[in-house]
Amino acid sequence: MRTLRFLLQKEFRQIFRDPAILRIIFMLPTLQLIIIPLAADYEVRNINLAVADHDHSVYAQQLVQKIKSSRYFKLIDYSSTYEDAVKNIESDKADVVLEIPANFERNVVREDYSKLFLAVNAVNGMKANLGAAYLQNIIQNYNNQIRLKLIQIPKINPQPTIEVTFTNWFNPMMSYKYFMVPAVLATLLTLVGSFLTALNIVKEKEIGTIEQINVTPIKKYHFILGKLIPFWVLGLMVFTIGLFIMRFIYQIHPAGNILVLYFFAAIYLLVVLGLGLLISTFADTQQQAMLISFFLMMIFILLGGLFTPIDSMPPWVQKITWFNPVSYFIEVIRMVVLKGSSLVDIKKHIFIIVGFAVVLNSWAIFNYKKRS
């Protein structure tokens, strides 16, 4: 314990001696957690719409006005021919073209039937699909309004109707911030923990101070613990700052016990710090450590469920996510913040994360080459 205490004193002095490291540890994650959720919005707005109106009737004008009044579309062109409207897609000025055929109003009134044509710019597939879905929903609502005007509703409806009502559990207002902010916090904690520990040992290799440690009687596990514990403490401090931002800036109040979050975060930090230490035992330069960390973090984040639900991934990819610790932390922090889950609810995740921590840190201790 005396040896470990001296190592911890040396590491904390080395960390706090460098102001750049403190800025990286505290300021960058804070700014990222404030900015990223504001930009990473699942809703698609400001979809550019071009209309080719061959009818110029009252009903056509009402439909266009209803689309314009929604918060999703911007009318950038209103022409009389489809050829003129589709040029806006070819020049990337429009995302969707709506073609209203001739005799649109007459067909709706007399024949109770009319067709509309949508041309969607599918270069951005997500924006195209959501834009087309929004537009079809608006058209369907407008169609229901017309039917209420034209159809004489009898006092007794001869056809049975089923009315469906629903409620959104855990996120009643369907706010993307409640879903995104906890996941972004988990991702930033992963990046901070893995990158800093990966660079720490490698930095000592480059400047030569690790050779002085190698000739001392310090045990390998003492050395690894001396590198791990300081960043574990700093990681919990970063996590605390993230919880303050989540509560006071985004007004997200965790439904579960905050101590459950700290308990799981404390174990999870052992995983990412162990991963960073393991990377540092393989790398000889900081550039190598950064590239390896960046490669692994890109895979972990993209397959962690931050942007794409894991259940919607191909089956073989879902099996890969079993070995992704980020996916477990994102799932747990969402469960505790949104659902109010307890330790009993996340006990499976705890056992898995403990297994990751034991394997990665044991591997780092075993792989660290100490020459005496």
pLDDT of residue 364: 86
CB of 197 within 8 A of CB of 280?
A: yes
List, in sequence order, every residue forming a beta bridge with 79; answer none if it has no partner. Answer: 52
Interval 94-108: pLDDT, tens: 889 999 999 898 888
- In whole angstroms, give the CA distance from residue 366 to residue 221: 9
What is the per-residue pLDDT across 107-151, written as a single tens digit (0 to 9) for each?
Answer: 888 887 888 999 888 887 777 778 888 898 899 888 888 877 766
Asked if 274 and 360 count as a contact pair (C-beta separation under 8 A), the reply is yes
Report DSSP state, residue 244: H
How close are the terminal C-alpha atoms of the chain, in Å? 21
pTM (predicted TM-score): 0.81
Domain ranges of the chain: 2-40+175-367, 47-150
User: What is the average per-residue pLDDT within 31-54?
Assistant: 85
Domain 47-150 belongs in CATH node 2.40.50.140: no
Q: According to the model, what pLDDT value does residue 207 have?
A: 76
